[in-house]
Every structure is written in structure tokens, then in C-alpha cells.
Amino acid sequence: MPDPSSVPTNTAASGNNSSRPTRGGRGKSRGGRGRGSSSGRHTNNGNGRHRGSGGRGGRHHRGERIPLSDEEVMIAFMKYIRQEEDSQAKDVLSRYGSDTRVFIEKAREFLKHKGTKGNSGFKSKMDAPRASTGGAEHETENGDESSRIQEQSQEDTVVQREEKEEEKNDDDDLQSSISNHNKYADHATKAAETNEDHHQDDTTSDLEKMVENLIVEEEGDEILEKQNRDILQQNASASPSVQVPPESNSLPPDAIHEQKEASLLPPTQVVKGTTTTPPSKWQPKRTHMKLPEQPGRILANNVPATITGKPPLPIRPRKELIATWQLPLTYLRERTLAMLEKAREESLADTISHPAPSLENVTIRDALRSLTVGLFRRGCAENGASAAIIAKEIVPSDKNAKEEFHFEINQQNGIIWGTVPFFTPRTPGNVVLRLYFEEDPVVTLATSQCISVIVSHVDMEQTLRFILSNFKSKRNATNFSSMHFLAAVLEQYVADPERGGKAKFQNNGAMQNMDGAGRAAWGGICEARKILDAGRHEYRQKKVKLDERIEELQQMLNEADANVDDPADQSTSNTDSESHQDDEERKGWREDLKQALKERASNERNWRDIQFSFASILKSVVRNPESSSLLKPDIIKKLELEYHLWCPLCERFAPNPFEVEHGDGSFAINYPYPISQKHHKACLESRAKMQEETIGFVVKTTPITPSSYQEESSVCMQLTKDMEMFFNSEYRSNSSIIYRKKSLAREQTQAAVIGCNSFPNGTQVVVFGSSANGFGSPNSDLDMCLQLPEGLTLTGEVGMNAMIKLGEKLEEAGMTNVDTARLTARIPVIKFDCVVETDGIKSTIECDISMQNPLACINTSLLYSYSLITPAVRILAAVVKRWASRRNINDPSRHTLSSYGYIIMLLHFLTTHRITSDGRLETIFKNNGPEGPLIPNLQWVDQRWLQSPPGTRYLEWNTKPTTQYTTMKHPSEPSYVVNTYFLRTNDEAVLTSIRNNIHCETSNPPPVGYLLAAFFRYFAYQFDYKKYVVSLNATSRSGLIEREIKAEFDGWKSAGQTLSVEDPFEEFYDVAHVLTNYNFQRIRKEFALAYSKIASCMSEGSGKFNGENLLDVICEELSNDQQ
């Protein structure tokens, strides 16, 4: 955003008359309090004291004409091409159309020569003598607009060329806006602070008169309503050879397409003259979540947003936060015209109740009404004032409101921008600013950089007292938010580094401050315990009532069913009316039983959530070494005893051995003093007893030490040998035979495709999935897809018919069980069985074939590259798949995780952990050590590391490389561009370099038995499912991928504790989305059970199990009763 003083046609917003003192902006700023309040808005006087420079001569006088914008030149010029077929215009287009800048200048000269002053039917107010607008302003309703749908038919070539140049200019504009923001903010504040008492009727605002590029003017004596519709039609059919000048930050092509579908889709769609009613479908709560999709920009304290949201902008609580927003005028114009067209259509149905809006009175304020900047917790599922911490409308929806925030028009860059003041929240956490229209909050116009509110030692007492006051103001309520914030404050607390904690405080004031913070912290913990006690009392009361109710209903249903089945009762049959009455009665009982079971599950879930929240507070205190400078040592010891009772797998606290229950149902904890080891042991024994009763085993959490696996006779080494033996017998011994069988099946399928005559010549059958990625089992299906010649596609009905004919041809070729039921799926699939014969023995191979699926083939290639790095990868994958299958937790149709999901989890573990020099296993994020991961991350490893001599420090890219060869449009999500880059290891030189560097960094690689145990332990106890997601994009530079980021940019769930697995290429896709909360807990318990078996065996020695027995115990198959 250039300096307004340098823009010759810049117009500033002048607000309504107000004599009240300003409560927003800088200096006297006190805005931002309360949810959605109107305080904190700039108020400017009616004389337009705060106006744009308008060039040297100040603001423009009436009758002065301003040059057309580049886009208006385009519109006017194209009229001569489409309507009048002017030969001179065609000559200009053919000679200069390839160069945007030159073409615009030549087109402008052509229009001057022709005497054109603007497109007939749509003149900018800046290009015509100003007419005083009436006092009445007509507010248009936000809605759907058929003309917006018609605009979607504009040629993609024009928009794509525009996008390339816009992306180049966006960064320059943002950098310019950073340097000029302070000047803008000061300019706005001075204007707001120098308001004078004038009546609004004396002088009308410049923006009421000059609605640049938005108002629809009169030409002569006629209102050009009809011609506006014609222009929309003309724009939609513009010549693809003309480039739209990239003067404004308009929507990218895919974002325009989504925008029109999401926000402006009318009840009926008009396509080529036919009207059809679109089918009802699921609508997201928020669209345009990624920055490239958003039409606008928003800066937080002059900091522009990045695509990844990192690094966050650190800021203390209750500090001023200035949001600087901008929108392209082209986007605002399109939206306004769409709203006007819809209002006009509605007026045709009822001219009395809904009169058509008067177009000449539409102002820029009408276009901005309900445009809102909101402050949200990062990852909030939806926009809108009800979901925001605080939301502020730039121009109030209520026309009678006199306060509004500062905004200006930058005609040179084709944008409108403004500033809105906020204050950061009092509590810690990550927040973002979002720009949207309150009337249509689904569409996100802009998102700011992540703002991380960090509570320092200076703010500790104030923040803790605020949380304590929230606890006390919401008594007898489950105050989860206060418990969450208290845990967050205690977790991130760091003592004053200059003083080194409470023991070194020399200043009495600082000592008193930290004593006050400590008292507030202890008060908050006590309030949280009251919520825990109240929740337990309520849980028990509801549980007793619901259990009695469920038992009663089940007994009544059993008796009724027994009477129906009783032959003696059937002999004396009732009348039809009595039988119908009995059926209705049983139906009512079943409904009551179903409702009671739901209430019981809800009661259990609420009680688990309360316990989890309180355990988070205890964990923050116990795990934070700085807590000793905030709380007294004896308090920390008591909290540590309580934390020993918590089991995350059982999701509950064990009975406290020091707790006493009174006769009235209340509880009291009589902690011993002093606390010794026997008291800790008593708590641990209570937890172990609860674990035995609840999940059937005692959880082992102690890590395995290097010494336990370095001995050749250790249990870990025996387990390693057995794993290798299992892999060789199940995978390697039969690999050549299985490969031959599947090759024959592919060849038979290829012959059927050729004989079908429904696919282009050169179509190939390609194998992907587990049969080709190096991780397939001997019994895995054969997944195939049709790879069409480059540049050819078969979609829609044509592709469907081709697949139907292929199914018929497969049956003719002798395939059995041909199933075409999934041809209507997102990716059409045909399932069939292929009979092949090898060495005189016939075998049946289960197959499926789909239409062109390039991403699946690329994904297969990535996994295959990982499988080649070291044999340990394939051995671990084989054992993990066997374990998941036998424990019945790898069936997505039953809402558990797929085998592919477990492979991604394994690769995540191997690429984020390293072996230290002393043999310990740790994450690559813990310390910035020289050691690289167990295997390099092929999507992020810097190739310079491979070209360096062995022993060179492990290197990763700052950003993933992007070239024209590594990017592709998603086959089913046109708005999503996939970066398919990764380092392929099928080159022997590359593979050798990787192995040499790995072996150099790890001279004594850990055995696969130890890695298997560490893998189980990591996902049982160490991985924070509530905060992070499993991803191969987790690197040593960026750290783990936060769930909040996925919620903000991809719409994933931010709340709750469950497993989420990011696909390596389709990063918006959660591989674990099918998981239910129950099955997630079940999978996590299986991880803990597997590790506990290994740890117990190692602690008790090899006398109880040998390696083979231990592997069988780990992969023990569930019995029918257990299933």
C-alpha cells in the first residue's frame, strides 16, 4: 500500500459527525473491550477533515474528471471488439495483447482517439461530474447472485495470467504497507482526535459523493440498470487473449470459483439458459481458509501473514494490536453488483414489500456494511461475532450508528484499506485476526499471522487473578475454559531470568508480586479441585439413577419379548388392536432405553473431561521446573502425589489413599507431612490396581535403556532375531512367486483394457498401493489404475461408460466376482478376482482397478523410496501391520485406522527420532544436536547433505522445493495444488549416499526390537494427541505440526483428544478421520499394552519369554469374546 500522499486519486473515509472523544486507535485508545461492542471506533467530523490528498490540489472539485482505471479501460476497449468489431481495436489487440502494460497504454490512447470517456452503462463516479447524493442510503442484503454464476464462465487463461503477475506484486505491496503503516495509523488517529462539532447536513462526505468503481451512475437522464447486466455478461465472455492488468490483489482463479459457489450461489443455477435446482449438500462452516485463496490481506502490527503461520507474533496480554486490512476494489465491486442483482430479482416478485434499490444512491459504505475484523482463537471452526473473542464492524450494519473505523481507497493499486484497533486477550494462547462480512461469515476474506499471547513474569499475577475471578464468577458450573487457561499459564511460566527465581529476589516489590501470583495460582488450583469434587458428586448421582433406569427398561423389554415368544401365550392370541398396542409400548421402551444409554455415555464423557482438565493443571505444575519459584515446595509435593493417581489410558484418577469421605458426600484429603517415598508408592499402587481392573494390565512407562539391548543375549536382541525371521519367512521367501502371480494378473487386465476399445491408444495399467510400495504383505490386494496418455482425460459420463464397458470386458476375459457398484464414487473403482496359473497351480488374486489416479501412484513411489533406505523399515512395517491386524485395529470400515495410516505413523516416528552418541533415542526437536534422524525425511532433506562427505551435519530445506515439474492440480479438488516433490532413492548413487551418511552418524544402529518398543512407547505415552497431528512435514526446523494450524487452514477439529494423520501430499486430508473416540482410546491402549509386554519381559529377564514367544505375545490375536 503506497503512501497516500503519492497517490493522485486517493480518497479517505470521513466519518459521521460526533463530538464524543475518540476511544480507538493510538494514544487515547481504549477500544477493544467487550464482545462486539462499538467502542473503539474512529469518529470523524462531517466536514471531511480527514480526507485523502487528492493530488497537489487537495481534494477534487465538482466536475473534475479522473482517468479511468486499467480495468475500466479493458471493459470499454473490449466493447469495440465484441459489439462493434472495430478493425483498429482488433489491430491493437493483435499487436500489443501479449504485453499487458503496453497493451493498456495503447488501449487508453485508442479510447481517447475514439472519444470514449468510460464504458457506457458503468461509469466510475470519478470519471463523471459529481452529483450530490441524496441523504437516504439503501442497504442491500447479502445474498446469492445469478450474475456471479455467469461470471464464472470467463476464460481461465485471462485469470491465470493475472494470477501470476499478482503473486509477484503481492509481496511488494505488503512490504510497502509495513513501512507506511505507522504513517497511516498516525494520520487516522490525528483526524479522529481533532473532530469538530459540525452538523452532518452541512457538508456531505467525499465518499458519499465519490464511490469510486462501485456506484452506478446516470448517463444523460436514464438510469443504466439494464446496461449493467449487459456488462456482466460481456465480462463473462471476454476474449481469452487479453490479460487483466494485475493492479489489484484480486482473487486467484480457484478462489473466485470457490467464492462464487460458497457465498453467492442462488437457489437456482442458470447454466446455458436452463434452470436447475442444485442438490442439497453439506456446507462448511468456513471457506477460503488458506492464504492463496483469500482475496484480501490483513496485517497484525504491521506483520504480514505467512502461508505456514510461522513464526508466530509474540505479544503480552492486554497490549495494543492494530489490524491493517485491505481488499481489492474489483472484489468489492463484484460482490456489490451481485447483491444489487439479487435485490432487484426479489423486487420483481414483490414490488410493494421489496422495492428495487436505487442504484444511483449506492455508496462505498453500502458495499462495506457488515465488513468485520474479528479476533479469534486460532483454529476456531467458524467466523461471526458469536464465535469471536471480539468482532468489530468497519461500517456498522445499522445505518443510524454514527461510529465507524478509518478506511481509505488507494485508486492506484486498486485497493481499499483501513485499520482497526484491538487489545490482546488476558489469557495465553494463539489467536488470529480474520476479515469477513458478518452477513456472510462463511467466506474468510483474509487471515492474519498467528499471534501468540505469552504471559511473562511481569503479567503473571494480573493474569492469574483474572483467571481466579473467572472461577469464582462461575461457581457451580463446569468451567473448562478457566481450567484450560490456568494449565496453559502454569505450563509456560518462566521465572524472572534477572532474578533467578524467588530465592534470589532482592527487590521487595518483585517479591510481593510473585507472592501474589503464587497465592492466585494456588487459589485457582483450589477452585479447580472444587469443580472436580462437584463433578464427581454429580456424576455419581446421575450414574445411580441412569443405571437403575436402564436396568428397569431392559427387564421390561426382556419380559415383553419372553411373552411374545411363549407358545402358551400365543395360544390365547390377543386382538389386533392389543397386539399393536403392545408393539407400540415395546417401541417406546426401546426409545427410552436408547435415550438413557446416551445420557449415561454423556455423563461418563463429561466426568472424563473434568478429570482430564484437572490432570492438565497438575501436569503443568509437576513438569515445569520453574514452579518452585511460584509455589511452595510442600504444595508441589502434594500436587505430585495427586498426579501419580492419573492414568491417561483409563482417563481417570485412581482412588486417593489419603482421601476421606464425609457423611454428606463431601471429600477431604488429609495429606501426610512430611511426604516420603512410601506415600508416593501408595499412590502408584492405587493407580496400578485401577489399571488392572479397568484395562486388564498394569501400564509400564519406564523407557528401555541402551544397556538393556546392547547385550547379545538380551530379550531385545532375541526379539530382533525373531522379527527378522518372521519377515524373511513371510515376505522374502515367497516374494518372487507372488510377484509373478500379480504380474500375470496385471497383464490379463491390460489385455482386457486393450480389447475394450473404450480407452485411448497407449493407455497403460499401472500397479500402485501395497503391492508396489515395498510394504505389501503376501496376501495384499492388487491395486491398479488406468494411466491415460499425457494430456488426455476421461471424466463424467464418458469415463463412466468406458469403465462400464471395461467391467463387461473383464467378465468376458474370465474374471470373476466383477463388482461395478463403486463406479459412482469420487474415484470410480471396479473390483474383481483374477485367476492365474504358475507352475501348474491356479491361484486367485483379488484386484481392483480405478480411473487415472496420479496421486496414488506418486504416493506409492514415495513409500517405495522409504522402503529402500534400510531393511529395518520394512521389517518394522511388517510387524506393525501384523500386530494391528491380529489386534483387530486396522479396519477403516469399523472405524479403526488403515494399514496405510500405521505406515505413516511409523515413518513419522523414524524421521523425527535420532540415536545419540550414548545410544539413547530422542526426538530431533529436543536439542539442536549434530545427529540426523534414523532415516532422512525424503520430502525435506537437503540434497547438499548427500553431496557432502560422511559425517556432515544433517540438513533440511527451509521451504519445500517447488518447480513446474513437482506441482500438479489435484484431480478432484481443482482449487488445491499438490507439491509432489520428494527425493527418489531408486538411483543407486543417491541410495548409497543416504546409507553412508546414516551409518556414519550411527556407528552402532539400534536393533529393530528396540525400535519397535520405542515406537509403541512414543504413541502410547509421549505423543501429545491433543496438541499435534502425525505428519511427515514435521521437521527439525518447523517442529511437530500443531492441530490448531490444521484447524485454521484445513478445517480439522481443534478440540478433543484423538489421533489425526496428515496425508503426505493431500495435506488437507486426515487419514484417521474415520476414527471414533472410543476406537482411538482402544488403539492407544493397544500401543501401551504392547510396550508394557516388552518392558515387563525385559525387567523380568528372558526366563519367562524368549524372542519368539514375546513376538507372539505382542501380536496375540483377540478372542471372539474380546472382539
- Which tens digits make up the pLDDT trace of 1085-1108? 999 999 999 988 877 654 455 555
pLDDT of residue 353: 55
Average pLDDT over residues 25-33: 36
Q: Exposed, middle or buried by CB within 10 Å (0-12, 13-18, 19+), for 936?
A: buried
CA terminus-to-terminus distance, the chain = 64
Average pLDDT over residues 1020-1044: 92
Q: Exposed, middle or buried by CB within 10 Å (0-12, 13-18, 19+), for 13?
A: buried
Other Cβ atoms closer than 10 A to 687: 20
Average pLDDT over residues 64-86: 66
Q: What are phi and psi of 1000, to 5 degrees?
A: -70, -40
Of the pLDDT bands very low, low, confident and very high (cuts 50, 70, 90), residue 637 is very high
pLDDT of residue 1001: 57
pLDDT of residue 429: 92
For residue 157, pLDDT beyond 50: no
For residue 192, pLDDT beyond 60: no
pLDDT of residue 524: 94
Grid coordinates in use for 850?
480405478
Average pLDDT over residues 560-581: 63
Alpha carbons within 13 angstroms on the beta-carbon side of residue 56 total: 0
Nearest to 852 by CA among 978, 763, 753: 763
Q: Are 970 and 976 in contact (CB under 8 A)?
A: yes
The better pLDDT of the pair 723, 949 is held by 723
Computed on alpha carbons and rounded to an integer, the radius of gyration of the chain in Å comes to 35
Look over the chain and give the mean of its residue pLDDT values, rounded to a whole number. 76
- Which tens digits make up the pLDDT trace of 937-990? 999 999 888 888 877 788 899 888 888 888 888 877 777 889 999 999 888 888
- Residue 901 one-letter amino acid: G
The better pLDDT of the pair 1031, 87 is held by 1031
Average pLDDT over residues 4-16: 37
- Angle at CA of residue 829, ends 823 and 834, nearest 5°: 125
For residue 874, pLDDT beyond 50: yes
Average pLDDT over residues 834-857: 89
- Which tens digits make up the pLDDT trace of 788-805? 888 787 877 888 889 999
Grid coordinates in use for 1093?
509386554
Q: Are 217 and 374 in contact (CB under 8 A)?
A: no
Cβ density class 340-361: b for 16+ within 10 Å, e for less = bbbbbbbeeeeeeeeeebebbb
Of the pLDDT bands very low, low, confident and very high (cuts 50, 70, 90), residue 927 is low
* C-alpha distances in Å from residue 803, one per residue of 462, 752, 817, 890: 67, 12, 16, 30
- Which tens digits make up the pLDDT trace of 497-546? 665 544 443 444 444 456 889 999 999 999 999 999 889 989 999 999 99
Cis peptide before 961 (omega within 30 of 0): no
How do strand 415-423 and strand 407-410 relate by DSSP bridges?
antiparallel
pLDDT of residue 946: 85
In percent, how much of the chain has pLDDT > 70?
A: 71
- Residues forming beta bridges with residue 313, ordered by sequence position: 451
Average pLDDT over residues 152-181: 38
Average pLDDT over residues 407-424: 93
Of the pLDDT bands very low, low, confident and very high (cuts 50, 70, 90), residue 3 is very low
- Which tens digits make up the pLDDT trace of 736-779? 888 889 999 999 999 999 998 889 988 999 999 988 998 988 78
Of the pLDDT bands very low, low, confident and very high (cuts 50, 70, 90), residue 141 is very low
How do strand 967-969 and strand 921-923 relate by DSSP bridges?
unpaired
- The Cα 769–Cα 169 span in angstroms is 42
H helices present in 762-827, as ranges = 796-812
Average pLDDT over residues 98-126: 59
- Which tens digits make up the pLDDT trace of 442-481? 999 999 999 999 998 889 999 999 999 999 887 666 688 8
- Which tens digits make up the pLDDT trace of 904-920? 999 999 999 998 877 88
Q: What are phi and psi of 1110, to 5 degrees?
A: -65, -40
- The Cα 983–Cα 955 span in angstroms is 13
pLDDT of residue 838: 86
For residue 432, pLDDT beyond 70: yes
- Which tens digits make up the pLDDT trace of 220-255? 333 333 333 343 333 333 323 223 233 333 333 333
- The Cα 932–Cα 953 span in angstroms is 7
For residue 640, pLDDT beyond 50: yes
Other Cβ atoms closer than 10 A to 88: 11
For residue 140, pLDDT beyond 60: no
- Which tens digits make up the pLDDT trace of 202-225? 333 333 333 333 433 333 333 333
Q: 547 in helix, strand or coil?
A: helix
